[in-house]
Amino acid sequence: MASIPPPPPPLPKSKTDRSTTMTASEPASHPFSIKGSTKEDQVFEFHDIQGGAGALSLQPIIRHYLGVPRAHQVPTTDLYKILGRLRSLQHTVANYNEGVVLSTPAFLHYWRPRTLNLFSGFGFRLSGVDQVIQIPGLEDVIRIVEHAFQEQIDEARDTIQRGFITFEALGELYRPGVPVQAVMGSGDTAAVFLVNECFYQENRGLTGVQRTFNWTIEFVATMGTHFTVVNVTEQLNGWTGVRARSLSELTYTPVSPVELSELRQRGERYVEFAISGAKFLAYSRGSFYRHVRPSRPSYSSLASTSSNQLPSEGRVMIDVDRGALLNHHPCQGMDESTLAMTKTAERYRQWRNTSSRKSSATDVLNLWETVPDEFIPYCWPALVGFSFTAKCWGHVLVSGLSPIQFQDTAFQHLVLAEEYKHLIRALVRFGNDASVEDIVENKRSGSIFLLHGPPGVGKTLTAEAVAEVLHRPLYYVTMGELGTTAEDMERRLSDVLELCSEWNAIIVLDEADVFLEQRRTSDLVRNSMVCVMLRLLEYHSGILFLTTNRVRNLDPAFESRITLALRYNHLTPEARAQIWSNLLKRISLQVAKDIDPMVLGQHEFNGRQIKSAIRLACAITKERDQSKLTMEIVKEVVRIMEVGRANIADDDSWKMREG
């Protein structure tokens, strides 16, 4: 059964006694008069009363809500259909008037612009910001309509309290000011909304009268450098068959006070991560959703398809402003929430592109530099970010974000000559100092490392260790990702260099052989790509690692641009023993005392193969339900791997043999 909804927010008390009834015989100075004694034949006649300062006539408001510009007499049954709108108006005016007196942040950032926008739709222009608003007759109309339909209202509230819902009870469930939640996309992540208004509508068609329930809800989202309120309009058709349904069948369900408190904590983290520039964070498994162009429309807000949800954990740069400029939003799909957010983001982008940002534009958009305390629980549950693990833009759930636990000792555990470590450490820490300026301004002040040597000796690990020590992102890109033409490479590499410069990220350019060898007159395409690479690196201001397994005939133009070139030789037995020791200390299993890294170091494995051997040994240990990794298991794995390597080297069974 769905959670029992909290009681609706209290509405302002009426100044008129419940027993008061305005009849047709009363003078037209009253906002309305009533004919009839029962709700079936009771009719309201509204009068255009011009009051004093701050007093607004109820007549045009009723006509606007009903969509009948010249209505003189309105049945009580029609007023019951728009009771949710009248309650919303009363709720808005009460909060506006309270803010006028107290001048709260919520008034300045929300209730004032919302009220001004609402009354401009009625054709009213408020003369002063600090003026209390009065709508004579509004409270009385609400009271009389509620009294006429008290039996239906009581029945609806009782149904909701029992965990069920009928079509007629929707107006009591989605009352103004009530929080509701909806699970958006796959998983169980709920977005929270604040109900604005609701109303029933009847449309006559060929099949008869079609009843619909309409309601407007709101949530808070960041558009870049500002926060704003996003309005969503939903519609639910009247249903037939089983009259009462479980609340859990609804898309939008009530929020309990305990849940709202937890959602406040999530909203506080949302605001923290969204403001003051880019944030480098870790995300948990399954919390990042890749942004792709779906082959067909999807109706899931937080994930367009389940395949876009990455199963692995990783690291992400939360950069809402840059993501917004690139047209990335923290949702995907064709649902109402996504469409509303996309539309609001487009209006915000147009506002940012205008030469003069007037205050009136911000009033219409209702932009905030921070989120008022009352609206923190209603922040959207996801933020736009760039995953360095998946190398793509997407959105990540706020609940899955956490500070990164950097491996500050990674550089110390790097198996590398001490003089190499000293040079690298000095360059990455002080290489960008302006102690030596270029004759030509705006040329690069970055550091380019060329790491070359056989596979598995620590070239990529060196860059990873530097990134860990400096607490910076690491962008790993292979040459195959940059395309096969000079134009593709220039566009893609420029994007990578620009992003990494903005985020102070370290770049690892792997498999860089094609750009390092001398140019040949017979290979014009490669020559063009080399020229593009040379020009882009000339002005790169960050740290870049070029890695390759071999360097033959290094191009002189590249040689002059490399800050430091380091050759990595094959691992010695002592170096291999150190790698065994370092990796064994990092496993979760208990390690037997008989495991001797010096003995294991005699086997000619590179760093990657040692890591694979330990992973396989741990898997076998768990498969055998053992709690301790033993030398016997490690030797078994090493023997199998050595046999496999020998078979690969000698295997020619694929060849067609004669005879």
Residues contacting 441, CB < 8 A, separation 6+: none
HEC string of 415-468 equals CCCHHHHHHHHHHHHHCCCCCCCCCCCCCCCCEEEEEECCCCCCHHHHHHHHHH
Task: Lowest mean pLDDT of 73-82, 289-298, 330-339, 580-589, name the range.
Answer: 289-298
Whether residue 442 has pLDDT greater than 70: no
Whether residue 439 has pLDDT greater than 50: no
Note the pLDDT of residue 12: 44
Q: Which whole number is the average pLDDT over 408-433?
A: 82
Q: Which whole number is the average pLDDT over 356-382?
A: 78
**Confidence tier at 14 by pLDDT (50, 70, 90):** very low
Please answer whether residues 520 and 553 qualify as being in contact, where contact means their C-beta atoms are separated by less than 8 angstroms. Answer: no
Please answer whether residues 486 and 533 qualify as being in contact, where contact means their C-beta atoms are separated by less than 8 angstroms. Answer: no
**Confidence tier at 573 by pLDDT (50, 70, 90):** very high
Cα separation, 271 vs 227, in Å, equals: 9
For the beta sheet containing 43-46, the strands, ordered from the edge strand earlier in sequence to the opposite edge, are: 32-35, 43-46, 73-75
Whether residue 474 has pLDDT greater than 90: yes
Packing angle between helix 83-102 and helix 59-66, nearest 10 degrees?
Answer: 130
What is the DSSP secondary structure assignment for residue 592, as one 8-state letter? P
b/e 573-611 (16+ beta carbons within 10 angstroms → b): eebbbbbbbbbbeeeeeeeeeebebebbbebebbbebbb
Coil, helix or strand at residue 11:
coil
Q: Which whole number is the average pLDDT over 300-304?
A: 46
**Confidence tier at 193 by pLDDT (50, 70, 90):** very high
Task: Tell me which of 294 and 105 has the higher pLDDT.
Answer: 105
Query: What is the CA angle 541-547-553, rounded to 5?
Result: 100
> Which of 326-340, 369-383, 427-441, 521-535 ranks highest by mean pLDDT?
369-383
Whether residue 300 has pLDDT greater than 60: no
What is the DSSP secondary structure assignment for residue 554, as one 8-state letter? B
pLDDT tens-digit map of 508-560: 998 887 777 777 777 788 788 888 888 888 888 889 999 988 777 677 788 88
Whether residue 296 has pLDDT greater than 50: no
Task: Tell me which of 337 and 655 has the higher pLDDT.
Answer: 337
As to burial, measured by CB atoms within 10 angstroms (0-12 exposed, 13-18 middle, 19+ buried), residue 9 is middle
Element (H, E) at 84: helix 83-102
Question: Six-digit token pair at 406?
Answer: 């950097």
Note the pLDDT of residue 270: 96
Q: Which residue has the tokens 């209603």?
A: 378
Assigned CATH topology for domain 573-648: Helicase, Ruva Protein; domain 3 (1.10.8)
Which percentage of the chain shows pLDDT scores above 90? Answer: 46
Instruction: Please tell me the CATH code under which domain 418-434+443-567 is placed.
Output: 3.40.50.300
Whether residue 355 has pLDDT greater than 60: no
The total number of residues shown for the chain amounts to 659
Note the pLDDT of residue 5: 52
Note the pLDDT of residue 61: 92
Which percentage of the chain shows pLDDT scores above 70? Answer: 86
**Confidence tier at 167 by pLDDT (50, 70, 90):** very high
**Confidence tier at 483 by pLDDT (50, 70, 90):** confident
**Confidence tier at 595 by pLDDT (50, 70, 90):** very high
Task: Lowest mean pLDDT of 26-30, 114-118, 128-132, 250-254, name the range.
Answer: 26-30
**Confidence tier at 361 by pLDDT (50, 70, 90):** very low
Whether residue 4 has pLDDT greater than 80: no
Note the pLDDT of residue 121: 84
pLDDT tens-digit map of 98-146: 988 888 888 888 898 888 888 888 888 776 567 888 999 999 999 999 9
Whether residue 19 has pLDDT greater than 90: no
Whether residue 1 has pLDDT greater than 80: no
Please answer whether residues 48 and 57 qualify as being in contact, where contact means their C-beta atoms are separated by less than 8 angstroms. Answer: yes
Whether residue 632 has pLDDT greater than 70: yes
Please answer whether residues 174 and 84 qualify as being in contact, where contact means their C-beta atoms are separated by less than 8 angstroms. Answer: yes
Q: Which whole number is the average pLDDT over 464-472?
A: 93
- DSSP codes of every residue in 302-342: S-SSGGGB-SS-EEEEE-HHHHHHTT--S--SSSHHHHHHH
Question: Six-digit token pair at 343?
Answer: 């539309």
Whether residue 366 has pLDDT greater than 90: no
Whether residue 441 has pLDDT greater than 70: no
Give the domain ranges of the chain: 1-148, 174-405, 418-434+443-567, 573-648
Query: pTM of the full predicted structure?
Result: 0.84
Task: Lowest mean pLDDT of 87-96, 121-130, 355-364, 504-513, name the range.
Answer: 355-364
**Confidence tier at 231 by pLDDT (50, 70, 90):** very high
Please answer whether residues 457 and 568 qualify as being in contact, where contact means their C-beta atoms are separated by less than 8 angstroms. Answer: yes
Note the pLDDT of residue 241: 63
Please answer whether residues 227 and 370 qualify as being in contact, where contact means their C-beta atoms are separated by less than 8 angstroms. Answer: yes
Note the pLDDT of residue 445: 64
Note the pLDDT of residue 561: 83
